[in-house]
Amino acid sequence: MTDIKTFLQEITAAHGISGYESAVAEMIVPVFAEYTSEVRIDKLGNVIARLSGTGEGVLPRVLLAGHMDEIPMFVKQIDKRGFIRFHAQGFDQRTLPAQEVVVHGKEPLFGIIGAKPPHLLAPADRNKAIKIEDMSIDLGLSPERVRELVQVGDPITIRRRSICLKGNRISGKAQDDRAGVAVILECFKQLQKLNFAAEVFGVATVQEEVGLRGATVAAFGVEPDIGIAIDVCHGEMPGVSEFDAVPMGKGPTIGLGANIHPKVHERLVQVAKENHLPFHVDPYPSATGTDAWAIQVSRAGVASAVLSIPQRYMHTSVETLCYDDVVTAGRLLAYFIASLDVAFVEGLTCY
């Protein structure tokens, strides 16, 4: 059986921006297959694994979604000296200078993001964050060779392997939201030990960061009764108040708000308490910004929920989480699924 912590570290090191997730999908398929009865990739690139429980008649259908795409960068321009100007979607631009990157041209090309050193900046600019338009990627190649191998529109990814810190913390890129994929895998692992009467679809979704597109088509195809998005939220860190962040290592957050079906929320809380699993309630006054926003309105509507892993330094190359929260979230989902029956699903239409 796959070691899930190792799996998380491996898939976060892989390269797969929104719309280019195939390399990550290829890593996920054989691992999901160890725990499920069927795994397929749909036309948009979602990895969909199915695991059926026991029971008579039509079983409740549960969709678990964790997106595998990472925030994207693209080649925007190649200047006359061979330096690459780029577009970055969603990155904290303060963290980009001096990053190692891979430009995915005709072949993978290692590069670094450079910027004008402080010695050459005007005094008024030395304490300001460098703008993305003032950064460039240096491949160490001649302008002619760069143009042979790279074209405008080629994807770019950060080059970084995750590392283990003390306190069972893991730090690296793309944990938003490949940690959600690891939670689904942990859920599948826990379900091997339980009796449950549901049909479970674990989906590593694509293109969440650019509009929830993978979840939109996955939910339409699966047509679940219940859909749960597993994503990340802001973990405690220096300079961030308790109002805006939650403790790490003390369980996932269970969403509550307009995007969340109240009865699914209540059952998740009940299951967590009954099984002595730590958790926090995370209120969302409107859109959650997760795959649940798309799942909720699929077809005639889906009872949706959000489970989030606290994470520091979101949208940087050193996103940091506590692996204990991944395990707890996976166990909570498994016990929640084991608690389901037809009566509960039929009752979701009545608030």
Helix axes 262-274 and 323-338, enclosed angle (nearest 10)? 110
Residues 6+ apart with CB under 8 A from 20: 72, 104, 155
Is residue 206 packed enough to be buried (19+ CB in 10 Å), middle (13-18) or exposed (0-12)? buried
d(CA 101, CA 311): 23
Single-letter amino acid, residue 104: H
d(CA 343, CA 303): 14
Identify the three-state secondary structure at position 229: strand
Burial pattern 291-314, b for ≥16 Cβ within 10 A else e, equals bbbbbbebeeebbbbbbbbbbbbb
d(CA 102, CA 130): 21
Active site residue 208: yes
**DSSP, res 314:** T
d(CA 321, CA 164): 10
Residues 6+ apart with CB under 8 A from 255: 265, 282, 283, 284, 288, 292, 305, 306, 307, 308
Residue from 208, 209, 266, 274 carrying the catalytic annotation: 208
* Residue with token string 């990550």: 24
Residues acting as catalytic residues: 208
